[in-house]
């Protein structure tokens, strides 16, 4: 994975605002980091990683993929990010210390248990503090990454598979801030990245539930 600083430097080079082998100035890097956080947040809000479902909790809970969890002001529930999913039994996983009940077809391998899907997101809205936090699951390194706490030295979520594509998207996002024209190659790279991110062709297809009228 590339760091946020690396993605920012690549984006500014694509816009012709940074020389080869140089790092962005601190203020420019910080402004671009804010834009990168905003880019991730806008993708979550727009459903680029999948549609979100709203859940209200009144006790400790394990989040599901693409859930926007609301914690009421009078509730002090702890929200745990999911680390596994059992497609045979549904979600969430069994309580700590209890075993999965799905059949094991190969020694040590349960074909029904999988990690969260690449690009899955979880948002937690705390009504007591009026704050919201969001996480993305990076399937390249198999872990959740907090969008809100990203720093210049943090690893950039979903950058592992196509860092140049992510940098191209950031370049398009900040071009007006840096009074730069966007090269056609950068536009194409950004479009390729967005297509890959929204279509997720590398993942297994899921059967959706039909609605008939």
* pLDDT value of position 210: 47
Write down the pLDDT at residue 205: 54
- Which range has the top average pLDDT, 82-96, 105-119, 181-195? 181-195
What would the mean pLDDT of 61-86 be, rounded to a whole number? 88
Please report the pLDDT score of residue 116 as a whole number. 86
Q: How far apart are the first and last CA of the chain?
A: 46
More confident residue, 31 or 102: 31
Q: What is the model's pLDDT at position 40?
A: 94
pLDDT of 134 higher than 50: yes
pLDDT in tens, 74-96: 998 899 998 887 766 655 555 55
> So what's the pLDDT on residue 9?
96
35-44, 151-160, 193-202: which range is least confident on average?
193-202
Query: Among 16, 30, 13, which Cα is nearest to 152's?
Result: 30
Q: What percent of the chain has pLDDT over 90?
A: 52
132: enclosing H helix or E strand: strand 131-138
- The rounded distance, in Å, linking the Cα atoms of 147 and 186 is 24
Q: How far apart are CA 5 and CA 13, in angstroms?
A: 12
Q: Is the per-residue pLDDT at 211 higher than 60? A: no
Q: What is the b/e burial string over 108-132, where b = at least 16 CB atoms within 10 angstroms of the residue's CB?
A: eebeebeebbbbbbbbbbbeeeeee
């Amino acid at each position: 994975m590339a760091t946020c600083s690396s993605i920012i430097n690549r984006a500014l080079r694509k816009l012709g605002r940074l020389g080869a082998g140089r790092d962005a100035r601190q203020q420019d890097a910080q402004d671009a980091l804010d834009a990168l956080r905003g880019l991730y947040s806008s993708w979550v809000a727009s459903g680029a990683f999948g549609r979100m479902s709203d859940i209200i909790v009144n006790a400790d809970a394990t989040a599901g993929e693409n859930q926007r969890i609301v914690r009421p002001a009078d509730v002090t529930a702890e929200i745990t990010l999911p680390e596994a999913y059992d497609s045979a039994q549904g979600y969430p996983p069994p309580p700590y210390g209890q075993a999965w009940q799905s059949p094991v077809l190969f020694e040590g391998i349960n074909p029904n248990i999988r990690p969260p899907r690449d690009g899955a997101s979880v948002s937690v809205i705390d009504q007591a503090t009026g704050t919201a936090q969001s996480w993305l699951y990076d399937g390249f390194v198999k872990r959740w990454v907090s969008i809100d706490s990203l720093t210049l030295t943090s690893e950039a979520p979903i950058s592992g598979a196509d860092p140049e594509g992510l940098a191209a998207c950031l370049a398009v996002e900040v071009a007006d801030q840096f009074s730069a024209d966007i090269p056609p190659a950068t536009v194409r790279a950004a479009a390729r990245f967005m297509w890959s991110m929204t279509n997720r062709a590398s993942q297994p297809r899921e059967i959706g539930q039909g609605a008939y009228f």
